[in-house]
Amino acid sequence: MSHSVVGPATSSVEVRPRVAVISVLIKDDHVLLVRRANPPDAGFWGFPGGKIEFGETITKAAERELGEETSIIGQATGVLTSVDAFSRDETGRLDSHYVLIAVLCQWRSGQPHAGDDALEARWFPLDEVDEARLTLSKDVAEVARYAATQQQKEVHA
């Protein structure tokens, strides 16, 4: 269901959540994060990701975004979870709503180099990924821990 919002010019705009992917890559007890260049969350550390293109599968979108933002080639292995990302304007009004589909990826090749809309791209030890040490986008620490748990299950299966 979508909602109509009347803006300052009394025009009606349809507002719906947008769907995007985040690529979760863990290698040798390190997680790959990017520091965002653009709003929302400019300056915050988060997973590489972005909008799914029309006709693109979730896994292909995750692999593409991973490459565009970090120069790393990865293989998407499956959907981990989904999270809601909300941003608000300076008055507190809801500005955007994204449904982020977290996709677990395996490293294939490459070293992290910031590209696209990332200021930095680098590996962080999993035990350093918490809000006290880094300025993280919402849910990053929780998703990283969950991904590490799921990856361990795959290794021992």
DSSP 79-133: EEEEEEEEEE-TTS-EEEEEEEEEEEEEEEE------TTEEEEEEEEGGG-STTT
Query: pLDDT tens digit string along 91-133?
Result: 999 988 999 999 999 999 999 999 978 999 999 999 999 766 7
9 inside domain: no
1 inside domain: no
Model confidence, pTM: 0.87
25 inside domain: yes
Q: Which 8-state DSSP code applies to residue 49?
A: E
110 inside domain: yes
Q: pLDDT confidence of 38, banded at 50, 70, 90?
A: confident
Instruction: Give the amino acid at 6.
Output: V
Nearest alpha-carbon partner for 123 in 59, 1, 28: 28
Answer for the pair 50, 65: CB distance below 8 angstroms, yes or no. Answer: yes
First to last CA, the chain: 40
Confidence (pLDDT) at 117: 87
Q: pLDDT confidence of 10, banded at 50, 70, 90?
A: very low
- Domain extent, residue 82, equals 18-155
8 inside domain: no
2 inside domain: no
Nearest alpha-carbon partner for 49 in 28, 29, 70: 70
22 inside domain: yes
* Torsions phi, psi for 126 (to 5 deg): -55, -35
12 inside domain: no
CATH number at residue 42: 3.90.79.10
Measured CA to CA, the distance from residue 129 to residue 144 in angstroms comes to 8
Tokens of 36: 């965002």
The total of structural domains in the chain comes to 1
Confidence (pLDDT) at 9: 45
